[in-house]
Protein backbone atom coordinates (compact mmCIF):
# COMPACT_ATOMS: atom_id res chain seq x y z
CA UNK A 1 0.00 0.00 0.00
CA UNK A 2 2.88 2.38 0.75
CA UNK A 3 4.32 1.82 -2.71
CA UNK A 4 0.96 2.65 -4.29
CA UNK A 5 0.67 5.77 -2.14
CA UNK A 6 4.01 7.00 -3.51
CA UNK A 7 2.87 6.07 -7.04
CA UNK A 8 -0.38 8.02 -6.68
CA UNK A 9 1.38 11.11 -5.31
CA UNK A 10 3.91 10.92 -8.16
CA UNK A 11 1.09 10.59 -10.70
CA UNK A 12 -0.74 13.63 -9.34
CA UNK A 13 2.47 15.66 -9.32
CA UNK A 14 3.20 14.79 -12.95
CA UNK A 15 -0.31 15.80 -14.00
CA UNK A 16 0.43 19.34 -12.77
CA UNK A 17 3.75 19.61 -14.63
CA UNK A 18 3.59 22.49 -17.13
CA UNK A 19 6.29 21.07 -19.40
CA UNK A 20 4.31 17.84 -19.81
CA UNK A 21 1.19 19.88 -20.53
CA UNK A 22 3.00 21.77 -23.30
CA UNK A 23 4.19 18.49 -24.85
CA UNK A 24 0.65 17.13 -24.67
CA UNK A 25 -0.73 20.16 -26.53
CA UNK A 26 1.92 19.70 -29.23
CA UNK A 27 0.92 16.05 -29.68
CA UNK A 28 -2.75 17.07 -29.84
CA UNK A 29 -1.92 19.23 -32.86
CA UNK A 30 -0.22 16.24 -34.58
CA UNK A 31 -3.15 13.99 -33.67
CA UNK A 32 -5.69 16.36 -35.22
CA UNK A 33 -3.59 16.53 -38.41
CA UNK A 34 -3.51 12.73 -38.67
CA UNK A 35 -7.21 12.55 -37.88
CA UNK A 36 -7.93 14.79 -40.86
CA UNK A 37 -6.03 12.40 -43.12
CA UNK A 38 -7.98 9.38 -41.84
CA UNK A 39 -11.30 11.12 -42.37
CA UNK A 40 -10.32 12.24 -45.87
CA UNK A 41 -9.24 8.66 -46.70
CA UNK A 42 -12.68 7.41 -45.70
CA UNK A 43 -14.34 9.96 -47.97
CA UNK A 44 -12.06 8.99 -50.88
CA UNK A 45 -13.06 5.36 -50.40
CA UNK A 46 -16.72 6.32 -50.58
CA UNK A 47 -16.03 8.22 -53.80
CA UNK A 48 -14.58 5.10 -55.42
CA UNK A 49 -10.88 5.97 -55.15
CA UNK A 50 -10.09 2.90 -53.07
CA UNK A 51 -6.37 2.67 -53.89
CA UNK A 52 -5.67 6.31 -53.09
CA UNK A 53 -7.75 5.98 -49.94
CA UNK A 54 -5.69 2.99 -48.76
CA UNK A 55 -2.41 4.85 -49.30
CA UNK A 56 -3.63 7.95 -47.51
CA UNK A 57 -5.04 5.91 -44.65
CA UNK A 58 -1.76 4.00 -44.24
CA UNK A 59 0.23 7.24 -44.21
CA UNK A 60 -2.11 8.88 -41.69
CA UNK A 61 -2.16 5.88 -39.37
CA UNK A 62 1.62 5.51 -39.65
CA UNK A 63 2.08 9.18 -38.80
CA UNK A 64 -0.27 8.89 -35.84
CA UNK A 65 1.36 5.74 -34.47
CA UNK A 66 4.92 6.97 -34.93
CA UNK A 67 4.14 10.31 -33.33
CA UNK A 68 2.40 8.54 -30.47
CA UNK A 69 5.39 6.23 -29.98
CA UNK A 70 8.00 9.00 -30.10
CA UNK A 71 5.97 11.16 -27.73
CA UNK A 72 5.61 8.25 -25.30
CA UNK A 73 9.37 7.69 -25.33
CA UNK A 74 10.02 11.41 -24.77
CA UNK A 75 7.59 11.40 -21.84
CA UNK A 76 9.24 8.32 -20.36
CA UNK A 77 12.74 9.78 -20.79
CA UNK A 78 11.96 13.13 -19.16
CA UNK A 79 9.96 11.62 -16.33
CA UNK A 80 12.58 8.96 -15.66
CA UNK A 81 15.40 11.53 -15.64
CA UNK A 82 13.74 14.29 -13.61
CA UNK A 83 11.30 12.69 -11.14
CA UNK A 84 13.84 11.36 -8.63
CA UNK A 85 16.19 14.39 -8.71
CA UNK A 86 13.13 16.61 -8.32
CA UNK A 87 12.06 14.73 -5.20
CA UNK A 88 15.58 15.03 -3.75
CA UNK A 89 15.83 18.73 -4.62
CA UNK A 90 12.46 19.53 -3.03
CA UNK A 91 13.45 17.72 0.17
CA UNK A 92 10.27 15.62 0.29
CA UNK A 93 12.07 12.31 -0.03
CA UNK A 94 13.59 12.23 3.48
CA UNK A 95 10.28 12.67 5.37
CA UNK A 96 8.68 10.05 3.12
CA UNK A 97 11.43 7.50 3.74
CA UNK A 98 11.12 8.18 7.46
CA UNK A 99 7.71 6.47 7.46
CA UNK A 100 9.03 2.90 7.51
CA UNK A 101 9.43 2.96 3.73
CA UNK A 102 12.56 1.45 2.19
CA UNK A 103 14.48 3.05 -0.65
CA UNK A 104 13.51 0.20 -2.97
CA UNK A 105 9.81 0.67 -2.19
CA UNK A 106 10.12 4.40 -2.78
CA UNK A 107 11.85 4.00 -6.15
CA UNK A 108 9.29 1.41 -7.26
CA UNK A 109 6.53 3.81 -6.25
CA UNK A 110 8.04 6.55 -8.41
CA UNK A 111 8.32 4.14 -11.34
CA UNK A 112 4.71 3.02 -10.94
CA UNK A 113 3.64 6.67 -10.86
CA UNK A 114 5.35 7.22 -14.20
CA UNK A 115 3.57 4.15 -15.55
CA UNK A 116 0.21 5.46 -14.38
CA UNK A 117 0.73 8.62 -16.41
CA UNK A 118 1.93 6.67 -19.46
CA UNK A 119 -1.06 4.33 -19.16
CA UNK A 120 -3.46 7.27 -18.92
CA UNK A 121 -1.96 8.92 -21.98
CA UNK A 122 -1.88 5.74 -24.09
CA UNK A 123 -5.41 4.80 -23.07
CA UNK A 124 -6.69 8.19 -24.20
CA UNK A 125 -4.80 7.85 -27.49
CA UNK A 126 -6.12 4.31 -28.05
CA UNK A 127 -9.73 5.32 -27.36
CA UNK A 128 -9.46 8.42 -29.54
CA UNK A 129 -7.80 6.55 -32.44
CA UNK A 130 -10.25 3.64 -32.27
CA UNK A 131 -13.20 6.02 -32.12
CA UNK A 132 -11.88 7.99 -35.07
CA UNK A 133 -11.38 4.88 -37.22
CA UNK A 134 -14.80 3.48 -36.35
CA UNK A 135 -16.40 6.84 -37.05
CA UNK A 136 -14.61 7.02 -40.41
CA UNK A 137 -15.89 3.52 -41.27
CA UNK A 138 -12.37 2.08 -41.52
CA UNK A 139 -12.51 -0.27 -38.54
CA UNK A 140 -9.84 -1.10 -35.97
CA UNK A 141 -6.85 -3.12 -37.19
CA UNK A 142 -5.45 -5.83 -34.85
CA UNK A 143 -1.86 -4.67 -35.34
CA UNK A 144 -2.73 -1.39 -33.63
CA UNK A 145 -3.26 -3.21 -30.32
CA UNK A 146 0.05 -5.04 -30.72
CA UNK A 147 1.75 -1.77 -31.50
CA UNK A 148 0.31 -0.23 -28.33
CA UNK A 149 1.71 -3.09 -26.23
CA UNK A 150 5.10 -2.63 -27.81
CA UNK A 151 5.04 1.13 -27.15
CA UNK A 152 4.25 0.51 -23.47
CA UNK A 153 7.13 -1.95 -23.22
CA UNK A 154 9.73 0.26 -24.90
CA UNK A 155 8.58 3.32 -22.92
CA UNK A 156 9.09 1.34 -19.72
CA UNK A 157 12.59 0.31 -20.80
CA UNK A 158 13.40 3.95 -21.64
CA UNK A 159 12.09 5.12 -18.25
CA UNK A 160 14.08 2.42 -16.43
CA UNK A 161 17.33 3.40 -18.19
CA UNK A 162 16.65 7.08 -17.45
CA UNK A 163 15.98 6.13 -13.82
CA UNK A 164 19.35 4.40 -13.60
CA UNK A 165 21.24 7.35 -15.06
CA UNK A 166 19.34 9.86 -12.88
CA UNK A 167 20.53 7.98 -9.79
CA UNK A 168 24.15 8.29 -10.93
CA UNK A 169 24.31 11.77 -12.50
CA UNK A 170 22.25 14.97 -12.81
CA UNK A 171 19.09 14.94 -15.01
CA UNK A 172 20.63 16.79 -17.96
CA UNK A 173 23.60 14.42 -18.19
CA UNK A 174 21.20 11.50 -17.69
CA UNK A 175 19.22 12.55 -20.79
CA UNK A 176 22.40 12.83 -22.88
CA UNK A 177 23.60 9.43 -21.67
CA UNK A 178 20.16 7.95 -22.38
CA UNK A 179 20.13 9.35 -25.93
CA UNK A 180 23.57 7.86 -26.62
CA UNK A 181 22.59 4.52 -25.09
CA UNK A 182 19.42 4.26 -27.17
CA UNK A 183 21.33 5.18 -30.34
CA UNK A 184 23.64 2.18 -30.01
CA UNK A 185 21.25 0.07 -32.06
CA UNK A 186 21.75 2.32 -35.09
CA UNK A 187 25.43 3.08 -34.49
CA UNK A 188 26.67 0.32 -36.79
CA UNK A 189 24.46 1.56 -39.63
CA UNK A 190 25.98 5.04 -39.31
CA UNK A 191 29.55 3.72 -39.22
CA UNK A 192 28.84 1.52 -42.26
CA UNK A 193 28.70 4.69 -44.35
CA UNK A 194 32.41 5.15 -43.60
CA UNK A 195 33.78 1.65 -43.05
CA UNK A 196 32.11 -1.72 -43.49
CA UNK A 197 34.78 -3.48 -41.40
CA UNK A 198 34.39 -1.19 -38.39
CA UNK A 199 30.61 -1.34 -38.71
CA UNK A 200 30.71 -5.12 -38.38
CA UNK A 201 32.98 -4.88 -35.34
CA UNK A 202 30.75 -2.33 -33.63
CA UNK A 203 27.67 -4.39 -34.45
CA UNK A 204 29.29 -7.48 -32.93
CA UNK A 205 30.17 -5.60 -29.72
CA UNK A 206 26.67 -4.12 -29.38
CA UNK A 207 25.05 -7.52 -29.99
CA UNK A 208 27.31 -9.09 -27.36
CA UNK A 209 26.71 -6.42 -24.69
CA UNK A 210 23.04 -5.80 -25.55
CA UNK A 211 21.56 -8.98 -27.10
CA UNK A 212 18.64 -8.35 -29.47
CA UNK A 213 18.75 -4.60 -28.71
CA UNK A 214 17.65 -3.99 -32.30
CA UNK A 215 14.37 -5.81 -31.64
CA UNK A 216 13.29 -2.90 -29.46
CA UNK A 217 12.76 -0.85 -32.59
CA UNK A 218 9.19 0.32 -32.88
CA UNK A 219 9.22 1.17 -36.59
CA UNK A 220 10.75 -2.19 -37.55
CA UNK A 221 8.14 -3.95 -35.46
CA UNK A 222 5.28 -2.10 -37.13
CA UNK A 223 6.62 -2.98 -40.56
CA UNK A 224 6.49 -6.68 -39.66
CA UNK A 225 3.11 -6.72 -37.94
CA UNK A 226 1.45 -4.81 -40.77
CA UNK A 227 2.36 -7.52 -43.28
CA UNK A 228 1.19 -11.17 -43.38
CA UNK A 229 4.76 -12.40 -42.75
CA UNK A 230 4.93 -15.77 -41.01
CA UNK A 231 7.61 -14.52 -38.64
CA UNK A 232 5.60 -11.61 -37.26
CA UNK A 233 4.31 -13.51 -34.20
CA UNK A 234 7.77 -14.87 -33.41
CA UNK A 235 9.31 -11.44 -33.94
CA UNK A 236 6.85 -9.91 -31.49
CA UNK A 237 7.33 -12.66 -28.88
CA UNK A 238 11.14 -12.46 -28.96
CA UNK A 239 11.10 -8.67 -28.83
CA UNK A 240 8.66 -8.73 -25.92
CA UNK A 241 10.76 -11.26 -23.99
CA UNK A 242 13.97 -9.28 -24.45
CA UNK A 243 12.18 -6.06 -23.57
CA UNK A 244 10.97 -7.53 -20.28
CA UNK A 245 14.50 -8.76 -19.58
CA UNK A 246 15.96 -5.30 -20.14
CA UNK A 247 13.26 -3.71 -18.01
CA UNK A 248 14.03 -6.02 -15.09
CA UNK A 249 17.81 -5.59 -15.41
CA UNK A 250 17.78 -1.79 -15.56
CA UNK A 251 15.28 -1.50 -12.71
CA UNK A 252 17.40 -3.78 -10.52
CA UNK A 253 20.52 -1.75 -11.36
CA UNK A 254 18.68 1.47 -10.48
CA UNK A 255 17.49 -0.02 -7.18
CA UNK A 256 21.03 -1.13 -6.33
CA UNK A 257 22.57 2.25 -7.23
CA UNK A 258 19.87 4.13 -5.29
CA UNK A 259 20.94 2.39 -2.08
CA UNK A 260 24.18 4.42 -2.17
CA UNK A 261 22.75 7.69 -3.47
CA UNK A 262 22.89 10.75 -1.21
CA UNK A 263 19.39 12.04 -0.46
CA UNK A 264 20.46 15.53 0.64
CA UNK A 265 19.36 18.38 -1.66
CA UNK A 266 22.21 19.82 -3.75
CA UNK A 267 23.74 22.89 -2.15
Residue 183 burial by CB count (10 A; 0-12/13-18/19+): exposed, middle or buried? exposed
| Chain centre to alpha carbon of residue 263 | 27
Q: What whole-number distance in Å separates Cα of residue 98 and Cα of residue 89? A: 17
Query: What is the rounded distance in angstroms from the CA atom of residue 207 to the CA atom of residue 205?
Result: 5
In this prediction, residue 198 carries a pLDDT of: 64
Per-residue pLDDT of the chain (267 residues; tens, 9 = 90+): 688 888 888 888 887 777 677 667 766 666 666 666 666 666 665 565 666 666 666 666 666 767 777 788 888 888 888 888 888 887 777 777 766 678 888 888 889 988 888 888 777 777 777 776 666 665 566 666 667 777 888 888 889 989 889 888 888 888 888 888 777 665 555 555 566 666 666 666 666 566 656 555 555 544 444 444 445 566 667 777 777 888 888 889 888 888 877 777 666
For residue 229, what pLDDT is reported?
45
Contact call for residues 153 and 73 (beta carbons, < 8 A): no
pTM reported for the whole predicted model: 0.78
pLDDT of residue 179: 82
Q: Domain coordinates of the chain in residue numbers?
A: 2-182+216-258
Task: State the pLDDT at residue 237.
Answer: 73
CA distance 24 to 68: 11
The H-assigned helical ranges of 101-141 are: 103-135
Amino acid sequence: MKVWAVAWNTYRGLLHNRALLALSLFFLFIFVSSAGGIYFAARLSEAGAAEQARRLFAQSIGSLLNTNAVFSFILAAFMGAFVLPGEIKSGTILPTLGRALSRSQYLLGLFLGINLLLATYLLLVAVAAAGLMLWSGVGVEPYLLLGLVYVVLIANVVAAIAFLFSVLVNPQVALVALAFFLSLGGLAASIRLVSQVWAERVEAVVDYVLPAWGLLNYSDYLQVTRTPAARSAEFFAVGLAHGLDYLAVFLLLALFAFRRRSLLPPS
